[in-house]
Structure 1
Amino acid sequence: MPTLKKTAAQMVQESRDRIEEIETADLIAMLDDPDVVIVDIRDVRERQRTGFIPGSFHAPRGMIEFWVDPGSPYHKDVFAQEGKKYVFHCASGWRSAITVATLQDMGFDAAHLKDGFGSWEKSGGPVEKIATKD
């Protein structure tokens, strides 16, 4: 096995050291704020299995940079809203920390849910389930 120059855990910590982290209780309090856009970067199967934060926008991690970039053919208008606070989340806060650091490197201002969706559920944050076909 090759020796890595940097571990995933180191990348997460370096990201956390330079981004805005939002505590779960604070994001729960912001849920109805029309100026906050919550972005769920988890895999679609995670959302199907565990549900999602009501009103959140789903943007798979693999497409974030392309969806945010207005010069990309994959750009999504949700990321072009002036005056919005974007808060990204994943399951535990690792993927979203790295994602937000990357977006900040691109010049896109964002924050992330520090402890992820797992903490959201444990703290009693509302969860919407995806309807399944019977």
Structure 2
Amino acid sequence: MTDNTRPPLKKGVMQLVDEAMSEVVTLTVDEAAAKVNDPNVLFVDIRDSRELDREGQVPSAFNVNRGMLEFWVDPQSPYFKEPLGDDREKVLYCAGGWRSALAAKTLQDMGISNVSHIEGGFGAWKEAGKPVVDRERHGKK
């Protein structure tokens, strides 16, 4: 099938993002930054490792490649990661806020109610002059 004969998508990516944004809690950069040192909040960076190596991350953020999020958050999965299984609020972010909106919606669909994402993502975070640290590498758990 060539691109000219491909059937139209039922929903495009921007429609999915818009729907997710209407259903998840979106924090401004300032609202998110106020939570950085809160022990009851876990920042979850869903960007890939190349993005983290190149740009750094929010201090103390836990990195989960977007493709593994559902597996790492599910206690029944062989890939489960303990930091994602506790009752802390999860604040997700990506580069620009689209992937994190979709990811937050997915976590809500899985039954996690205390999840949000950062409006504008890490790009907005950096632009606002919020703290950035080099990528923290987490051991296998």
Q: Verify same fold: TM over 0.5.
A: yes
1:105 matched to 2:105: no
| Count of residues in Structure 1 that have an aligned counterpart in Structure 2 | 130
Q: Does 1:86 align with 2:98?
A: no
Name the larger-Rg structure.
2
The separation in 2 between residues aligned to 1:130 and 1:95, in whole angstroms, is 19
Q: Is 1:60 aligned with 2:50?
A: no
C-alpha distance in 2, partners of 1:51/1:80?
Answer: 24
Alignment root-mean-square deviation, CA: 1.2
The DSSP-based 3-state class of the residue aligned with 2:23 is coil
Q: Report what 1:51 is aligned to.
A: 56
Deviation at 1:129, TM superposition (A): 2.1
| 1:19 equivalent in alignment to 2:20 | no
Match runs of 1:71-82 below 5 Å: 71-82=76-87
Q: Could you give the per-residue CA deviations for residues 55-109 of structure 1, whole angstroms, max 9, x where no partner exists?
A: 0000000000000011111111001212x11001000000000011111111012
Query: Matches of 1:105 and 1:111 in 2, distance apart?
Result: 13
- Overall identity of the aligned pairs, in %: 43
Whole-angstrom CA distance in 1 between matches of 2:135 and 2:65 = 16
What TM-score do the two structures reach when normalised by structure 2?
A: 0.89
**How far off is 1:22 after superposition?**
0.7
Note the residue ranges of structure 1 that are not aligned, 5 or more in a row: none
1:41 correspondence with 2:50: no
User: 1:31 and 2:36 equivalent?
Assistant: yes
Deviations 1:20-50 (CA, angstroms, capped at 9, x unpaired)? 1111011111111111100000010000111
The whole-number CA distance in structure 2 between the counterparts of 1:68 and 1:129 is 24
Report the Cα distance in structure 1 between the residues aligned to 2:49 and 2:28, rounded to whole angstroms: 24
Look up the equivalent residue of 2:41 and give its one-letter code.
V
Unaligned runs of 5+ in 2: 137-141
Whole-angstrom CA distance in 1 between matches of 2:42 and 2:127:
21
Structure 2 counterpart SS, 1:17: helix
